[in-house]
């Protein structure tokens, strides 16, 4: 994953771009959770990466999730909380897809 892809999706240093994939994700996530976007969810994770420009060192790569990385840790945590698998549309799968 590259900073360029994250920024193109609308996650930027100045916030989420209006009319972007990021704004659509934020809207869907907020509706699903009753009006807010949760810390650690797909939108907040991607926005943090877009604001800081940290995608290269996060462990989300074009060939998969790097062992021992932040991405690996997030994936393990998410899998434990969902009974052993990472759900489609969850933080790990969403961030990895971008």
How does DSSP assign 51-87, residue by residue? HHT-HHHHSEETTEEPTTSHHHHHHHHHHHHTTSSPP
User: Which are the contacts of 81, defined by CB distance < 8 A and separation ≥ 6?
Assistant: none
pLDDT tier for residue 25 given thresholds of 50, 70 and 90: confident
Q: Does residue 29 contact residue 11 with C-beta atoms inside 8 Å?
A: no
- For residue 22 the two structure tokens come to 């990021």
Task: Give 42-86 pLDDT, tens digit per residue.
Answer: 888 888 888 877 666 777 787 888 888 878 888 888 888 778 888
Neighbours of 90 (CB within 10 A): 19
pLDDT at 66: 85
Confidence of residue 27 (pLDDT cuts 50, 70, 90): very high
The larger pLDDT score, comparing residue 2 to residue 95, is at 95
């Amino acid at each position: 994953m590259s900073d360029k892809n994250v920024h193109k999706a609308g996650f930027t240093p100045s916030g989420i771009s209006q009319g972007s994939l990021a704004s659509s994700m934020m809207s869907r996530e907020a509706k699903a959770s009753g009006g807010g976007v949760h810390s650690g969810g797909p939108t907040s994770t991607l926005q943090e990466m877009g604001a800081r420009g940290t995608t290269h060192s996060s462990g989300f790569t074009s060939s998969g999730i790097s062992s021992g990385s932040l991405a690996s840790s997030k994936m393990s945590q998410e899998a434990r909380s969902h009974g052993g698998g990472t759900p489609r549309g969850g933080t790990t799968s969403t961030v990895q897809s971008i």
